[in-house]
Amino acid sequence: MSGVWKRVRGVAALGLVAMLAATPALADAIQQTKGKWEDKFRQLEVDLPTPNTYRTASGAPGHQYWQQRADHRIRARLDEKAKRLEASGTIRYVNNSPDTLRYLWLQLDQNIYRDASIARMSETATSGGGRRPGTGLPTGDRLTYENLARQQIFKDIEYGFEIKAVADERGGALPYTIVDTMMRIDLPRPLVPGQSLTFRIDWAFNIVEEARIGGRGGYEHFRETNSDLFFLAQWFPRMAAYTDYAGWQHKAFLGRGEFTLEFGDYEVAIDVPADHIVSSTGELQNPGEVLTAEQRARLDRARTSDKPVFIVTPEEAKENEKATDAARKTWIFKATNVRDFAFASSNKFIWDAMGHKQDDAERPLVLAMSFYPNEAEPLWSKYSTQSIVHTMEVYSRFSFPYPYPTAQSVNTWESGGMEYPMITFNGRRPVTDKKTGQRTYSSAAKYGLIGVVIHEIGHIYYPMAVNSDERQWTWMDEGINTFLQNVAHLEWEENFGGHDRQPNLPDRIVEYMLSQNQVPVMTQSDSLLQFSNNSYQKPATALMILRETVMGRELFDHAFREYSRRWKFKRPTPSDFFRSMEDASGVDLDWFWRGWFYTTDHVDIAVEDVREYTISTRDPDIEKPMARDEEKREQPEPLAQIRNREEGRQTRVERVPELRDFYNENDKHAVTNKDRNSYAELIEKLEPWEREALERARRDGDFVYFVDFRNKGGLVMPLPLTLTFADGSTEDFQVPAEVWRYDPVNATSMLIRSRRIVSVELDRRHEIADADHQDNHFPRRIEPSRIELYKAKDEERDLMADMLVELRKAKTGEESPAEPGKEVPLAPPGQPAPQPGRP
Amino acid sequence: MRLDRRALLLAASALPLAGAAFAHRAKQSITRVSWNGRTGALEVVHRLHAHDAELALGRAGMTNPALDGVEAKARLALMVEEQFALAEPAGGKPGAPLPLAIVGAEIDADEILVYQEQKRSGPPEALYVRNDLLRAAFPDQVNQVNLDFGAGTRTLVFRGADGWKQVALR
């Protein structure tokens, strides 16, 4: 292996390197107009918003930080037959800003389903171009059954908010204007700083069937039992946020960019059919009126239980959903300091609960609860509530104690999840075997459920408590939350759901980061391409790398906790996060934020070359014999000469000794007096400190290595290196990212080791998201492709091959089963429809 | 405006549903097509969300689509075989689809990887790609294909009603 090394023996010049650091300061550019040099380490301050009295340069809320406040009192009535909600509510709006407001903006998110909404009008059909073979039609002109049905529903039912009244405290009508999903209320008198205003809105809307229309709330209809499950979100006019950095955040709701909201207290009375169970943001105020004595007793037991206790059992829920009770009940909930309010209501709910004790004087006990239909069993009773408790344990360690009295998980759909204060809507259900009727769940459903509950409950910290602007920056809640979700995964169980492989975030983001069609993480939510990868996985991976590789756990955790505490119940922006992480850790991370959040560079670093040296002592009595030994090592003895010796053949010179002379005794490596004299002269001329250094080097006998790195991907990263020594031992260490500061493309590190190194490997543990590991070894090593690795798993492959043969056999002669979304023939009048099928 | 009033097939997916996307986890897949000079194979690695794939298999009529099982993996591989195709250009159009062999499928955390390959003497110069993965099940499914034969990554994105797309690789 050492033959691969470029060996350069001789004097590794011990000299001074004078760096000329007189680069003229250029105004504002990372890339220069002359040359190719890029400043990957340029400080961010010039690009971040100027600090002010609201937001400091250290990333904390400033001494005049302010935010608005909105308190709500609402009475709502759920008409389960008409699938309609009617409500009336008052909002008390407090103007804490230094500005006088002449109008207020509110969010009417249900308006996204109106016929003329920007979201619906801007739905696009992209075409791949070309013609569909056999039809002559453009390939773009296709329609699914689902979409046809959806359009038919829109034709039949009018959606969106019906605003019945907007009035001031004395009942006087207030003028208002609706702008897509936003509503402006004009005030009779300007609302000056420090004052509050109370007004009333009466409204109603038709509830969407979520499976047909989509969205974040609605109802789910169960055909088998003819029953419904309602889950209401974005169901009341909510105040638009008014902020110090963006004024009114009234960018229309397009479906992707989520919500920017104000904190406040809520009191909500929900009138539902008497057989319904309601799960809601807040704490139930009238259990005596809506729960049975038995249910109340069970709830008390649950508070002190260390495992979930049924409040409504699966059997009771099954009975309950059969009943058709015309009576009604009103559930009253109160919530303090929340930025939103959601609820779910159904006669299908199983309900379990468990107390979570935490070390917090303000809130020593949190009630973790789950609500789900029998269709979700046996998966949910086993994992939902336990996952809620696990989330609070992990997230609180990274931030602050869970800040609310309840934490709930409601099963409202097949997959996906959505978060609100104290309540989350989550997916994942078992499958029912059509023949046996037995319900089973896959491991993907199990780990999917645990994962989604962790994720959504995690959102109660970010952004429900650390109230970032979701409409603007998806990554601030999704990226941070996905990072902590992964921390919680690995603390739930090693190799969480990983089956045969450890899920490793850096490895999994690589393919996305190689893509051409990327936008930086710092992009407004509705303009993101590849939404999940951009605002979930990539920032989550970045934070994982910060914690494990760049900063280390101690510094990262301290800084992250500081950010979370600073901004609990306040509204941080990206710069507050970037600044806080540096301010609290003392680590300059501007290069990291630039690379991972402001560019689309990827990581691909190669170990290009390694050169080995020893330091020459200059002493001919040491150096010349060493040179001889080395020559012998590198120039093998001729085979014929060896065989001659083995045969016992004597050479002429051996047989006739008088043929020997000076040259037989002294080869070119022989030390001469001249050598010794010039060595003495050299030593003489050295300064005393230089002589000491040389003497020390002679004693140490170290090896010196120059390792060349090449940055092919663009992102500058630290270099986690593994050295393997000739004796087989290894050493791991890391070169900081700052190695790239003078040249972002080529860098050379010098290593001095007392033992000889035989190989250098970069990123052995796959921690920096390096895209190509083929060039991470020196000497080069072949890294098998993913497919090659799979092929080595013989048993798994054989099983699969057999199954494919079987399935292919079964398939011939049998029509494939009906698929949703399959093509349906449409024909103009008088023309036969063609047979469905794809070319 | 010209009205094309001939037969229109109601197809896999016509419109991305704005606001219909699930709150989290957009429906996405990512596929890598690359040339492995050591084994002389065109390698195709599809990366799909396992749960989405299970839902799609379920909606296609499979009773137990749990991907822990080998049957579900095989059925998914066959679905991929139908819904994904590569073709070399022939007269400005996609030629016959390349015969991609199914190598296998395996779970990687919450994703499922499906492998295909074609043994051949060298990488193609240009390719047409068609990617309908899971688009029958999810109208808002977005599929991305990264192709890299040594000259850098090229990316194609398939959404809505996208059909064949061409990419030059050299």
3-state SS, A608-671, equals EEEEEEECCCCCHHHHHHHHHHHHHHHCCCCHHHHHHHHCCCCCHHHHCHHHCCHHHHCCCCCC
Q: Is the peptide bond before A314 cis (omega within 30 degrees of 0)?
A: no
Lowest mean pLDDT among A415-419, B15-19, B112-116, B160-164: B15-19
Q: Between β-strands A328-338 and A343-346, what pairing exists: parallel, antiparallel or unpaired?
A: unpaired
Indicate the residue type of A44: L
Q: What is the pLDDT of residues B103-161, one digit of tens each?
A: 999 988 788 999 999 999 999 989 999 999 998 888 788 999 999 988 888 999 998 77
Residue holding tokens 């105040």?
Answer: A239
Task: Render pLDDT for A433-448 as a digit per residue (tens, 0 to 9).
Answer: 777 778 888 888 888 8
CA distance between the termini of chain B = 40
Q: Are A766 and A605 in contact (CB under 8 A)?
A: no
Closest chain B C-alpha to A118 CA, distance in angstroms = 10
CB contact under 8 A, B8 and A137: yes
Among A130-144, A350-364, B37-51, the least confident range: A130-144
Spatial separation of the C-alpha atoms in residues A37 and A601, rounded to whole Å: 15
Hey, what are A469's tokens?
Answer: 């602007």
pLDDT tens digits for A697-739? 888 888 999 999 999 999 999 999 999 999 999 999 999 999 9
Nearest Cα residue to A137 out of A816, A818, A828, A829: A828
pLDDT at A17 over 70: no
Distance CA A394, CA A396 (A): 6
Closest CA to B32 of B123, B168, B143, B159: B143
Contact yes or no for A345/A277 (Cβ under 8 A): yes
Least confident of A129-133, A765-769, B79-83: A129-133
Q: Are strands A406-411 and A423-426 parallel, antiparallel or unpaired?
A: parallel
Which residue, A798, A764, A615, A773, is CA-closest to A703? Answer: A615
d(CA A115, CA A113): 6
Chain A nearest-CA distance from B111, in A, is 9
Q: Are B76 and B133 in contact (CB under 8 A)?
A: no
What is the pLDDT confidence band of residue B55, given thresholds at 50, 70 and 90? confident
pLDDT digits 0-9 by tens, A48-85: 999 999 999 999 999 999 999 999 999 999 999 999 99
Task: For A28-58, write each residue's pLDDT tens digit.
Answer: 467 777 777 888 999 999 899 999 999 999 9
pLDDT of residue A825: 52
Residues of chain A with Cβ-Cβ distance to B169 below 8 Å are: none
Among A84, A107, A229, A95, which residue's Cα sits nearest to residue A157?
Answer: A84
Question: Domain coordinates of chain A in residue numbers?
Answer: 1-9+605-615+701-808, 66-121+144-262, 627-691
Among B3, B10, B68, B162, which would you mutate to test the A interface (most chain A Cβ atoms within 10 Å of its Cβ)? B10
Short-list A404, A438, A435, CA closest to A422: A404
Closest-CA distance, A724 to chain B, in angstroms, reads 27
DSSP single-letter state for residue A30 = S
Q: Taking residues A218-223, report their average pLDDT.
A: 94
Closest by CA position to A773, among listed A532, A518, A507, A573: A507
Structure tokens at A381: 């009773």
Confidence of residue A382 (pLDDT cuts 50, 70, 90): very high
How many Cβ contacts (< 8 angstroms) between chains A and B?
319
Rounded distance between C-alpha atoms, residue B55 and residue B138, angstroms: 9
How far off is chain B from A788, nearest CA to CA, in Å? Answer: 9
pLDDT at A16: 39
Q: Which of A142, A433, A536 sits opposite B63 (nearest CB)?
A: A433
How big is chain A, counted in residues?
Answer: 839
| pLDDT of residue A149 exceeding 60 | yes
CATH of A66-121+144-262, one of 2.60.120, 3.30.410, 2.60.40, 3.40.50: 2.60.40
Number of other residues whose CB lies within 10 A of the CB of residue A86 = 17
CB contact under 8 A, B24 and A417: yes
Cβ A225 vs Cβ A324: under 8 Å: no
- Taking CB atoms and an 8 Å limit, are B64 and A440 in contact across chains? yes
Nearest alpha-carbon partner for A607 in A705, A513, A711, A514:
A711
Residue of A470, A481, A786, A796 for testing the chain B interface, max B β-carbons within 10 Å: A786
Average pLDDT over residues A817-833: 48
Quick one: tokens of B21?
Answer: 């996307």
Angle (CA) A646-A647-A651 rounded to 5° is 95
Helix, strand or coil, per DSSP, at residue A319 = helix
Which residues on chain B are in Cβ contact (under 8 Å) with A797? 103-104
Enumerate the domain spans of chain B: 31-168
Considering only A16-25, A362-371, A724-733, A737-746, which range has the smallest mean pLDDT?
A16-25
The secondary structure element, H or E, covering residue A771 is: none
| φ, ψ (nearest 5 deg) of residue A152 | -65, -40
What residues of chain B lie within 8 A of the CB of A782, using their CB? Answer: 38
**Mean pLDDT to the nearest integer, B25-37:** 88
Mean pLDDT of A562-570: 98
Alpha-carbon gap: A450 to the closest alpha carbon of chain B (Å): 12
Nearest CA in chain A to B136: A821
Indicate the pTM of the whole model.
0.85
Does A162 have pLDDT greater than 60?
yes
pLDDT above 80 for A674: yes
CA atoms within 13 A on the CB side of A834: 17
Place of tokens 């070399």: B88
Q: Which of B13, B24, B47 to mutate to test the interface with A (most CBs of A within 10 A)?
A: B24
User: Would the pLDDT of B35 be above 70?
Assistant: yes
DSSP-derived pairing of the beta strands B111-119 and B126-131: unpaired
Q: Do B117 and A787 touch (CB under 8 A)?
A: yes
| Helix (H) or strand (E) run with residue B54 in it | helix B50-59
Residues on chain A touching B91 (C-beta within 8 angstroms): none
Residue A443: alpha-carbon gap to chain centroid: 22
Opening angle at CA A253, ends A252 and A259, nearest 5: 110
Share of chain B above pLDDT 70, in %: 85
By CB neighbour count within 10 A (0-12 exposed, 13-18 middle, 19+ buried), where does A762 fall?
buried
B133, B46 contact by CB (below 8 A): yes
Q: Choosing among B1, B25, B84, B145, which should be mutated to test the A contact, i.e. which has the most A CBs within 10 A?
A: B25
pLDDT of residue A531: 81
Q: Do the domains at A1-9+605-615+701-808 and A66-121+144-262 have one common CATH topology?
A: yes
pLDDT exceeds 80 at position A349? yes
Distance between alpha carbon B116 and the CA centroid of its chain, in Å?
11
How far, rounded to the nearest angstrom, does the alpha carbon of residue A818 sit from its chain's CA centroid?
36
Which residues does residue A87 pair with via DSSP β-bridges, in sequence order?
A76, A203
Q: CATH number of A1-9+605-615+701-808: 2.60.40, 2.40.50, 3.40.640, 1.10.3210?
A: 2.60.40
Q: At residue B20, does pLDDT exceed 60?
A: no
Contact A768, A541 (CB under 8 A): no
- The runs of H, that is alpha helices, within A420-504 are 443-458, 474-492
CA A752 to chain centre: 39
pLDDT at A486 over 50: yes
Distance (Å) from the alpha carbon of A185 to chain B's nearest alpha carbon: 26
Q: How much is the pLDDT for A252? A: 92
**Closest CB from B15, B65, B132 relative to A147:** B15
Give residue-wise pLDDT tens across range A513-543: 999 888 999 998 887 777 888 899 999 999 9
Nearest to A615 by CA among A122, A8, A76: A8
Tell me which residue in B39, B67, B155 faces A788 most closely, judged by beta carbons.
B39
Lowest mean pLDDT, pick from A79-88, A456-465, A741-750, B59-68: B59-68
Residue A474's identity, in one-letter code, is T
> Chain B residues with CB inside 8 Å of A801's CB?
104
What percent of chain A is modeled with pLDDT above 90? 69
Tens of pLDDT, residue by residue over A292-339, are: 999 999 999 999 999 999 999 999 999 999 877 689 999 999 999 999
Taking CB atoms and an 8 Å limit, are A797 and B17 in contact across chains? no
pLDDT score at A132? 41
Distance CA B148, CA A516 (A): 11
The pLDDT of residue A420 is above 60: yes
**Token pair of A8, please?**
């350069």
What was the pLDDT predicted at A11? Answer: 42
pLDDT of the residue at A10: 42
pLDDT bin (cut points 50, 70, 90) of residue B26 is confident
Compute the C-alpha angle A653/A657/A662, nearest 5°: 85
Q: What is the b/e burial string over B7-28, where b = at least 16 CB atoms within 10 angstroms of the residue's CB?
A: bbbbbbbbbbbbbbbbbbbbbb
**CA A501 from centroid of its chain's CA atoms:** 19
More confident residue, B72 or A636: B72
Structure tokens at B18: 């704005």
Question: By CA distance, what is A255's nearest residue in B?
Answer: B19
CB contact under 8 A, A147 and B17: yes
Compute CA A548 distance to the chain's CA centroid, rounded to the nearest angstrom: 15
For residue A414, the model assigns a pLDDT of: 82
| Cα end-to-end distance, chain A, whole Å | 55
- A786/B113 CB distance under 8 A: yes
Cβ contact (<8 Å) for B136 and A447? no
- Higher-confidence residue of A736 and A3: namely A736
* DSSP code of residue A187: E
Whether pLDDT at A811 is above 80 = no
DSSP A524-583: -GGG-SSHHIIIIIHHHHHHHHIIIIIS-HHHHHHHHHHHHHHTTTS---HHHHHHHHHH
| Residue A503 near residue A449, CB atoms below 8 Å | no
| 3-state class (DSSP) for residue A452 | helix
How far apart, in whole angstroms, are the C-alpha atoms of residue A832 and residue A835?
9
DSSP3 helix / strand / coil % (chain B, rounded to 5): 15, 45, 45
pLDDT digits (tens, 9 = 90+) for A164-204: 999 999 999 999 999 999 999 999 999 999 999 999 999 99
Question: Cβ contact (<8 Å) for B74 and A416?
Answer: no
Q: How far is A827 from chain B (nearest CA, A)?
A: 4
A422 min Cα distance to partner chain B (Å)? 17
Q: What's the mean per-residue pLDDT of chain A?
A: 89
Asked whether this complex has an ipTM greater than 0.90, the answer is no
Structure confidence at residue A503 (pLDDT): 66
